[in-house]
Every structure is written in structure tokens, then in C-alpha cells.
Amino acid sequence: MPEPTLPLIMGVLNVTPDSFSDGGRWFDPDAAIAHGLELVAQGADLVDVGGESTRPGAALVEPDEEIRRVVPVISELAGRGIRVSVDTMHAATAAAAVEAGADVINDVSAGLADTAMARIAASSGAYYVAMHWRGHLGVVDSHADYDDVAREVRDELFARVEALVEAGVARERLILDPGLGFSKRAPQNWELLGRLDELQSLGFPVLVGASRKRFLGAMLPEGAPVEERDLPTAVISVLAAQAGAWAVRVHDVTATRRALDVLGAWQSGSRG
């Protein structure tokens, strides 16, 4: 997939009752579809539909229930010509989503949570986002010990790339995600963002998903609503664009769209 001048915007659409960011506002299929259309109107290039929360302490969702949540939404959005990704760790959900029209599988576990995922990714021909993952998030994350976080994330993702390619996933359809907030403490997230070039050295497009995450909340006054994290997210989107990110995954599409438009105008002006 060719890299654009500016990153694509992946709009987050949580079809869950327990998301930390929206509290289940889009759990109803009609509400979810309407919000997906709104995200596109605001400037999203693709809509990332997820039916299972990955917040710390969230209950795991069985694939049958996850499919029930996401497939009607994906089918309707894809049927309207909208590019859709499915945010899932389950091979059965990924297969059903691709059949419904999704052309990107966004797997936060990079195939580690479900051993059948690599086979589905390979046979479906979908683009596949492999995120750095060391296990399900707990209340206290016990997997966040690194000697050199950027190097270790790069090397662990490279190992997943090799396993996925061996299972038949086409290299040209792989996208990497450093997994901000997953098994990382706040300083480690910032270090990963500051050293994105090390991950890009593997030669794959990079997706940055910082939106509304806890390490951004730590910069704000205690008790600030989660929406207050959208401005820092938009700033990260611009910095990620300058670092060569392929896409940014965000909740507030409008803020990031405007921020990237400003960057695009700046870049155009600097070229004369």
C-alpha cells in the first residue's frame, strides 16, 4: 500500500457497551452506522469497527457476540463505499468482517491471541495491522519491563512479521503498530513516539494509535474528561505525520483532520 503525503485518518467506532472513551454511545447498530457516516463526513479515510473493548479490566467477548455486534455495521458502511477495518483479535470475527466488506484486519495481538488469525489474514487477502502485544491488559500491567523499549518493540514485531509471512500473509499487506499504551508506561510511550524511525526501519507502513490513551490523560488536570485528550492527540497526529506514519487512529476525526490540513498547507507553502 503506497504511503500518502499525509497519514490516513482511521476513525474509531466502538460497538461496545464498555469502551473507556465513549461509554457505549454507539452500541446500538443504527447509532453505530450513523456515527460511522459522521466520521467519514468529518474526514476519516477509513472507519475502524470494534466489538470488544481492550481497556484494562474489560471483559473478554466471545467471537459469536463480537460478530453479532460488528458485522451489520461493517456491511452497511462498506455497502455505502466506505473503507472499513475491523478491530479484533479473533480469527472468526476477522473472517466474517472481511466477508461483510472490511478490507483491513486490525489485530492488537498480531496473531498471538488466536493462532488461526494468520491463516485467515493470509487467505482473505486483507491488509493486516500487527500491533506489538505482550498479553491482555490487567489492572496492573506486569509486562512493561524493557531495557530499550524502541529496540525491543521493533525486534518483537519483526518476529511476528516473520511468523505471519511464514503462515502466508503477504509482506506488502502488513502494517505495524507500536502498541502505545499496551504493556508500556507513560515514558515508554513517549520514547516510542520519538523513535518511530526505528520501527519504520523494518520497511512497513506504521499505524500510530495514541488517541485518548491514559498517558495523555496524565498530562491533564486530575479528573479531566476523556475528551480533553483530543487536542494532545491531534498534536501527536501532526508529529506522527512528520515522522512518516502511514495512518493515525483517532476518536476525534475533526481535530486531527484540521491539524493535518494545517500541516499540509505548511508543507505546500514551504515548497513554494
- For the annotated catalytic residues, the residue numbers are 213, 249
Nearest of 208, 237, 207, 232 to residue 218 by alpha carbon: 232
Nearest of 161, 115, 152, 116 to residue 134 by alpha carbon: 152
Q: What is the CA radius of gyration of the chain?
A: 17
Quickly tell me which residue has 512497513 as its cell. Answer: 204
Spatial distance between the Cα atoms of 83 and 46, rounded to a whole number of angstroms: 5
Say if residues 236 and 213 touch (Cβ distance below 8 Å). Answer: no
Spatial distance between the Cα atoms of 195 and 136, rounded to a whole number of angstroms: 25
Spatial distance between the Cα atoms of 138 and 100, rounded to a whole number of angstroms: 32
Say if residues 71 and 96 touch (Cβ distance below 8 Å). Answer: yes
Provide the Cα torsion 74, 76, 81, 86; round to 10°.
0
